[in-house]
Structure 1
Amino acid sequence: MAIPDFQTLMLPVLRLTAEGEIRTSDCVERLADAVGLTAEERTHLLPSGRQTTFANRIHWAIAYLGKAGLVERTRRAHYRASPRGREVLAAPPERIDIRFLSRFPEFQRFRDAEAEAAREAGTPAPTASLSVEAVLTPDEVMRNAHRQLEAALADDLLQRIRAARPAFFERVVVRLLIAMGYGGSVADIDRALVGGSGDGGVDGVIDQDPLGLDRIYVQAKRYAEGNSVGSGAIRDFFGSLDRYKASKGLFVTTSAFTQSARETAEMLSKRLVLIDGTQLAHLLIRHGVGCRVEETLHIKTLDEEFFDA
């Protein structure tokens, strides 16, 4: 089954806290058992790698129940149902969600404060993206938006590279490898590019280590979308590596590789790494090549140790 969204978890969390004081981590474990999460679902991490997705959603369910006055904190990381929460469970609804919580004045004030803070900052209200039908937590909404922005940027990068001259694409590939830690500095780009019509099927040669003890031979094919690289191009590149007595090569394209091309690369005796347009775009973004940071947003959480000192 899929990991339940945080609104679906609100009623189970409230019921569990009504049994008595409970530690958040115990709540996570007991509800994971109750909903039948698999081992993979229990250990699925957020992109930050610091918390599991299920634990994150439990935390948000507790936080929203707390804003409505249905649960209360007893001590660090421990909660229990409030008298109001027990009243709700005396005649329990089929589901507790944002729409249900909005009937409580404290929760509505919390939502209004969010909207006011957004207006003062000149940004869309967070509650607009987190509608009553939403299944994502606020931080998941931000991460989802980040993925959408990155996907759009990746597409823009590929479009610009495809529209540029082939020589520009070769420089982009070498610059990316340098940004990844190969070959030295940006000043080495011109030296790394082979260039000319007599390049023998190799567009760049870059040092794999700072001392130049080993080298990576690069082939860069600037193809339009839909014009995939076939197995013939892979065999030609392999032959070029033989002429250079090279043991490894990197083939980069702005399009894609056919299945036969990938199978050919696996069967050949030399180590060939294939990077298609999608992989290339995300590597460019990750290493800041052809793009820049527009704005940095920090997701902060309460520092419990500060208040327990």
Structure 2
Amino acid sequence: MTVPEFQTFMVPVLTILSDGQVRHRREVEVPAAEKLGLTAEDFRDAFPSGKTRINDRVQWAITHLCQAGLLARPSRGHVSITARGRETLAEHSDRIDRKVLSRFAEYRDFLNRTKAPSGTAASGSAAGSHAETPRDAIAEAVRESNEALAEEVLQRVLDQSPVFLEQLVLHLLTAMGYGGRAGAIEHWGKSGDGGIDGVVRQDVLGLDRVYVQAKRYAPERTVGRPDIQAFVGALHGRQADRGVFITTSRFSADAGDYVERIPNRIVLIDGRRLAELMILHNVGVQDESTFVLKRIDEDFFDEN
């Protein structure tokens, strides 16, 4: 039989985890497929990259269930069922899909973030069938995958210590090309650092410096103008005029207006942008599959 789409795996995944045990996501894959009656041939069905379709479907099912709050990620790579997951499974033991998950506000927010912009291919499972061209379908699939990945990347960062975030943002700036061979990046992030977590020396003499502050805050917290003013004050103490303030939460409109009016060059990076930059520069993520889209070589067939 054909490996079904990822929504079909949601009930089997929840059923397996309904015993309350915390399992690594790989431990869920085989029993979930077996509950659907998939065959040995189905287990061998793979993409050109080598990743099996069953693995892909189960991972997507877990991602959507986590976004809806039916599953939790108690530790790295592990998942467990939540009280909401038990209740939903009891109510919809035959099938759970996006329509069922959409009853939860967190999942609706997730769908809104992954929804295709106006004028592009339709989002979700309809993307492939309604895209104008194969290129549109591929671009939409990559965009939706990255949106979901950004959510997971940010959650992984939130699960780590504040020091991890401080080191992460410096590593990210390096991956973005700051510091360079002639410069250097230094992590401070200790008592007495004056509100500065790190510094990027853009040249070998350290004449061109960018100071960094990183704050690991819960997503619902807002970083306001007072936080940015304190950062600017710390820059003045270093006789500096430029800095990057990175947070896992978000900035208030007042904070954004403030940095637009002051002479200092301050860049604000919120949690969403942080995750996007990590994906763009392969920090905390890695390439999984590469697809080549071919076209006609017009020169080859040009008689002239």
Matches of 1:220 and 1:301 in 2, distance apart? 45
Q: How does 1:213-224 map to 2 (within 5 A)?
A: 213-224=207-218
Which 4+ stretches in 1 moved above 6 angstroms? Answer: 118-124
Over alpha carbons, which structure has the higher Rg? 1
Aligned-partner SS, 2:268: strand
Amino acid at match of 1:260: D
Alignment size in residue pairs: 184
Q: Is the 8 A contact 1:130 1:136 kept in 2?
A: no
Matches of 1:201 and 1:183 in 2, distance apart? 21
Normalising by structure 2, we get a TM-score of 0.56
In structure 2, the CA distance between the partners of 1:233 and 1:129, relative to structure 1 (3 Å rule), is closer
- Other-structure match for 1:205: 199
In structure 2, the CA distance between the partners of 1:209 and 1:280, relative to structure 1 (3 Å rule), is farther
Q: Is the 8 A contact 1:183 1:209 kept in 2?
A: yes
Cα RMSD over matched residues?
Answer: 2.5
State which of 217, 222, 230 in structure 2 corresponds to 1:228: 222
Q: How does 1:3-22 map to 2 (within 5 A)?
A: none
Aligned-partner SS, 1:218: strand
The alpha-carbon deviation at position 123 of structure 1 amounts to 6.7
For structure 2, the 5+ residue unaligned runs are 1-44, 55-125
In structure 2, the CA distance between the partners of 1:120 and 1:241, relative to structure 1 (3 Å rule), is closer
Q: Is the 8 A contact 2:225 2:258 kept in 1?
A: yes
- Other-structure match for 1:239: 233
Matches of 2:47 and 2:219 in 1, distance apart? 44
Whether 1:281 aligns to 2:245 is no
Q: Is the 8 A contact 2:184 2:201 kept in 1?
A: no
State which of 249, 261, 276 in structure 1 corresponds to 2:255: 261
Amino acid at match of 2:210: I
The alpha-carbon deviation at position 293 of structure 1 amounts to 0.6
- Other-structure match for 1:272: 266
Matches of 2:249 and 2:127 in 1, distance apart? 34
Whether 1:295 aligns to 2:302 is no
Matches of 1:284 and 1:210 in 2, distance apart? 26
- Other-structure match for 2:174: 178
Q: Is the 8 A contact 2:166 2:189 kept in 1?
A: no
Matches of 1:230 and 1:220 in 2, distance apart? 14
Q: How does 1:1-309 map to 2 (within 5 A)?
A: 130-131=128-129, 134-184=130-180, 192-209=186-203, 212-308=206-302
Matches of 1:144 and 1:130 in 2, distance apart? 8
Normalising by structure 1, we get a TM-score of 0.55
Q: Is the 8 A contact 1:226 1:255 kept in 2?
A: yes
In structure 2, the CA distance between the partners of 1:119 and 1:167, relative to structure 1 (3 Å rule), is closer
Aligned-partner SS, 1:273: strand
Aligned-partner SS, 2:210: strand
The alpha-carbon deviation at position 136 of structure 1 amounts to 2.9
Matches of 2:176 and 2:286 in 1, distance apart? 16
Matches of 1:209 and 1:284 in 2, distance apart? 24
Matches of 2:46 and 2:154 in 1, distance apart? 36
Matches of 2:184 and 2:202 in 1, distance apart? 13
Superposed CA deviations along residues 91-128 of structure 1, whole A, max 9, x for unmatched, are: xxxxxxxxxxxxxxxxxxxxxxxxxxx9997879xxx9
In structure 2, the CA distance between the partners of 1:297 and 1:202, relative to structure 1 (3 Å rule), is same
Matches of 2:168 and 2:194 in 1, distance apart? 20
Q: Is the 8 A contact 1:203 1:220 kept in 2?
A: yes
Superposed CA deviations along residues 25-50 of structure 1, whole A, max 9, x for unmatched, are: xxxxxxxxxxxxxxxxxxxxxxxxxx
Aligned-partner SS, 1:171: helix
The alpha-carbon deviation at position 300 of structure 1 amounts to 1.3
Matches of 2:253 and 2:151 in 1, distance apart? 23
The alpha-carbon deviation at position 269 of structure 1 amounts to 2.4
Amino acid at match of 2:153: L
The alpha-carbon deviation at position 298 of structure 1 amounts to 1.4
For structure 1, the 5+ residue unaligned runs are 1-117
